[in-house]
């Protein structure tokens, strides 16, 4: 099992450009998540999905879009990149069989994004 994989590892964007961060999991998990981590800060939830075709906003969704057409993939789209989106982005997945309790998330290695 590869677990959760993310591409690219690192990217530099110019202000106003757009890009898609890819996330794939091979554990047949129902739930998937996107977080961002700013320097010296904790992880903030951007969007999450409880299954294919279902997505919902987290704490910091502005400037991002997601889709979940398959169980395995959960891409994160940045439109009109801004310097405030410079961060490290982590994708995670979990079984989602029990709400909250006993739920463990498995994280990808992260994508480091720099917007200049």
Partner 1 sequence: DQQVKQNSPSLSVQEGRISILNCDYTNSMFDYFLWYKKYPAEGPTFLISISSIKDKNEDGRFTVFLNKSAKHLSLHIVPSQPGDSAVYFCAASPNTGNQFYFGTGTSLTVIP
Q: What is the C-alpha separation between 16 and 49, in angstroms, rounded?
A: 27
- Minimum separation from the CB atom of position 43 to partner 1 (A): 4
For residues 11 and 14, what is the distance between their CA atoms, to the nearest angstrom?
Answer: 10
What are the Cα distances from residue 104, in Å, to 10, 16, 22, 31, 62?
A: 26, 36, 21, 11, 26
Site for partner 1 in 73-112 (CB under 8 A): 90, 92, 94, 96, 99-110
Q: Does 1 bind partner 1 (CB under 8 A)?
A: no
Stretch that binds partner 1, among 12-20, 37-45, 67-75, 79-87 (CB under 8 A): 37-45
> How far apart are alpha carbons 6 and 108 in whole angstroms?
6
> Residue 106: left if φ>0, alpha if ψ -120 to 50, beta else—which one?
beta
- Rule CB under 8 A: is residue 4 a binding residue for partner 1? yes
Shortest Cβ 88–partner 1 spacing (Å):
9
Shortest reach from residue 34's CB to partner 1, in Å: 12
Give residues in contact with partner 1 (CB under 8 A).
4, 31, 33, 35, 40-45, 48, 50, 58-59, 90, 92, 94, 96, 99-110
């Amino acid at each position: 099992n590869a677990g959760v994989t993310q591409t690219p590892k690192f990217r530099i964007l110019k202000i106003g450009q757009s890009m898609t961060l890819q996330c794939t999991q091979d554990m047949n998990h129902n739930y998937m998540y996107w977080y961002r981590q700013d320097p010296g800060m904790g992880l903030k939830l951007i969007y999450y999905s409880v299954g294919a075709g279902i997505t919902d906003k987290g704490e910091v969704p502005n400037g991002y879009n997601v889709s979940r057409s398959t169980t395995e993939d959960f891409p994160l789209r940045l439109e009109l990149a801004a310097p405030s989106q410079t961060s490290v982005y982590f994708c995670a997945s979990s079984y989602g069989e029990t709400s909250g309790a006993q739920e463990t998330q498995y994280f990808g290695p992260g994508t480091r994004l720099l917007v200049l």
